[in-house]
Amino acid sequence: MNIEKLFNYFYNNKKLIIYLFEHRDRIIDIGEIEDLASIELLENLAFFEIIEIIDNKISLDFRVVSFLEEYIDNNDIVDVAVIGSILKELIHLIENANEFKEQKNKFIPKIRRALFKIDNIFFKNLDTLRTHINRVYKSADSFKLKLKELKFYKERLAEFEQMISSFEAFLQKYTLLIVSLGNDELNTILNYVKKNKIELLRTLIPLTSEIISYINKIESKNIFVEKITKLKELKDSYELNSKTNLLDEIKNFDMQINPIRVSTKLDSEILHSYEFIKLLQKYKDKKLKTKVAKSVIVEEEKILKDEVFINIYLLHRQFLSTKLNLIEFLISNEALKDKNTTELSQIFCKMILMYEDEYKISDEKIVIENISFAKVYNNEIR
């Protein structure tokens, strides 16, 4: 089928397709749409995989549903909470399909659609998050606004990561049940979703690190500006007191006896006053001395081209399943055996930054090669 023929089918049967799409979340009997299409037409649409007919039940092919949902849903809000509801419904469908094997064909299309929908929601939200974060960092007017916005999206990333963990737990528990249904197309979608989950994690880790780096950078800039402003005020105050007696002159200048009339130009009476002439004579030979601040070059951290990818998220999940403290876990981890203490300390810091809410940092210390590490444990252990 070519694209022209496909769109002709859509257009010529638009009432049927609209009806099936609007009622896509429930079972539709063929008798319910007999006024919209003949049996011969339905069989033709099924042949071209626009609709599915199983046991006299009819539904749109899941690819058609996904296509329409993708273009109709143009919401720019980051929201993965809906995945929790879809997962509950998906579990219900899988359990029904396995318990009532003779009726599994009416559950399988819904299972396929739900898996595909979850996958689409994850990628759409991840892309939206990335766009929002970059937009905020580049366009927000002030440091404080940037900081507030980025912290908001850091919370959204944490929710996103939590939902991926829930989906990962679902796949571990229900993969065998899905495979046991014996549907090749469903198994293909399952493998596709599993592969995409790995890609999601690989994308999420640097995005989380990026937003933490953004926040730290903004906080540093904010503190720097405040300190520079304070230093300038102190410097001006010090020089005013130590290098001049201007404050004493102003104090001695009797504003009551010699009132100044406000005007758009210097009043001639002021210019010719004894006090003003005395002040000019005192400072006319003094030259203003200025100091030029030396430029400070901050070198960006160099990233080696041959650096091996470290899956921080995977290390975090492994650590949660142990009773070791964090640095001892990293030292004993087989994947990190080639890392020196400095590199391990960098991974140690990254994990604490990214998952501080799930860790308990104790007052105890452990010293390894003259580097002191706090003993950090899983929240559930200590």
Model confidence at 257: pLDDT above 50: no
Could you tell me if 201 and 318 lie in one domain? no
Task: Return the pLDDT at 367.
Answer: 85
**How far is 178 from 319, CA to CA, in rounded Å?**
30
Decide: 344 and 325 in contact? Cβ < 8 Å: no
By C-alpha distance, which of 47, 180, 168, 158 is closest to 104? Answer: 180
If asked whether residues 27 and 153 sit together in one domain, one would say yes
Range from 183-187, 267-271, 275-279, 300-304 that averages highest in pLDDT? 183-187
Whether 291 is covered by a domain: the verdict is no
The CA distance from 315 to 346, in Å, is: 13
Geometric angle at alpha carbon 78, from 192 and 136, rounded to 5°: 120
Is 249 among the domain residues? no
Classify residue 260: in a domain, yes or no: no
pLDDT at res. 95: 92
Higher pLDDT, 9 or 279: 9
Distance CA 187, CA 105 (A): 14
Last residue of a domain, one of 182, 208, 234: 208
Whether 174 and 37 share a structural domain: yes
Would the CA dihedral through 175, 181, 184, 189 be positive or negative? negative
Q: What is the spatial order of strands in the sheet that 57-60 belongs to?
A: 28-29, 57-60, 51-54
Whether the CB-CB separation of 258 and 269 falls below 8 Å is answered with no
- pLDDT(29) > 70: yes
Tell me which residue of 175, 163, 161, 24 sits closest to 91, measured CA to CA: 175
Please give the average per-residue pLDDT across 346-375, as a whole number.
Answer: 82
The residue with greater pLDDT, 134 or 321, is 321
Query: Tokens in use for 242?
Result: 């130590």
* Residues contacting residue 207 through CB under 8 Å, at least 6 positions apart: 126, 129, 130, 133, 157
Structural domain contains residue 256: no
Q: Let me know if residue 224 belongs to a domain.
A: no
Q: Count of CB atoms within 10 A of residue 234's CB?
A: 10
Say if residue 50 is in the same domain as residue 195. Answer: yes
Q: What is the mean pLDDT of residues 227-238?
A: 60
Instruction: Assess if residue 185 is contained within a domain.
Output: yes
Helices 104-139, 82-99: axis angle to 10 degrees equals 160
Average pLDDT on 21-44 reads: 83
Instruction: Choose the most confident range, by mean pLDDT, from 229-233, 281-285, 308-312.
Output: 308-312
Compute the distance between CA of residue 186 and CA of residue 179 in angstroms, rounded to an integer: 8
Integer Cα distance of 120 and 204 in angstroms = 15
pLDDT > 70: what percent of the chain? Answer: 70
Contact 343, 361 (CB under 8 A): no
Nearest-5° Cα angle at 323, 321 to 328:
105
Note the pLDDT of residue 276. Answer: 61
Say whether both 65 and 192 belong to one domain: yes
25 located within any domain: yes
Q: How many domains does the chain have?
A: 2
**Rounded mean pLDDT, 85-114:** 89
User: Is residue 141's pLDDT more than 80?
Assistant: no
- Mean pLDDT, rounded, of the chain: 75
Boundary of a domain, candidates 208, 241, 268: 208
Name which residue leads in pLDDT, 23 or 300: 23
Residue 224 has pLDDT above 70, yes or no: no
**Lowest mean per-residue pLDDT among 88-92, 171-175, 200-204, 353-357:** 353-357
Per the rule left: phi > 0, alpha: psi between -120 and 50, beta: everything else, 359 is beta
Tokens describing residue 31: 């008798």
- Overall pTM > 0.75: no
Q: Which DSSP state fits 196? A: H
Query: How many whole angstroms separate alpha carbon 79 and alpha carbon 357?
Result: 21
Cα(103)–Cα(23) distance, integer angstroms: 20
Q: Of the spans 182-186, 216-220, 234-238, 307-311, which averages the highest pLDDT?
A: 182-186
Least-confidence region, from 101-110, 224-233, 302-311, 344-353: 302-311
Q: Which residue has the higher pLDDT, 325 or 273?
A: 325
Tell me phi and psi for residue 361, to 5 degrees: -95, 115
Q: Which residues pair with 365 in a beta bridge?
A: 374
What are the CA-CA distances from residue 153 to residues 50, 132, 133, 173 (Å)? 39, 8, 7, 30
Retrieve residue 195's tokens: 């592969």
pLDDT attached to residue 314: 83
The residue that leads in pLDDT, 271 or 192, is 192
Average pLDDT of the residues in 270-292: 57
User: Is the model's pLDDT at 267 over the cut of 50?
Assistant: no
Phi-psi region of 49 (alpha: psi -120 to 50; beta: other; left: phi over 0): left
User: In the predicted model, is pLDDT for residue 73 greater than 60?
Assistant: no
Say yes or no to pLDDT of 375 above 80: yes
229 inside domain: no
- pLDDT number for residue 91: 92
**CB neighbours (10 Å) of residue 206?**
12
Q: Is the dihedral of CA 164, 87, 25, 196 positive or negative?
A: positive
Domain that holds residue 371: 312-378
Q: What is the pLDDT of residue 231?
A: 59
- Distance CA(35)–CA(75), nearest Å, equals 34
Of 208, 241, 262, at which residue does a domain stop?
A: 208
Q: How far apart are the first and last CA of the chain?
A: 62
* Residues 41 and 175 both lie in one domain: yes
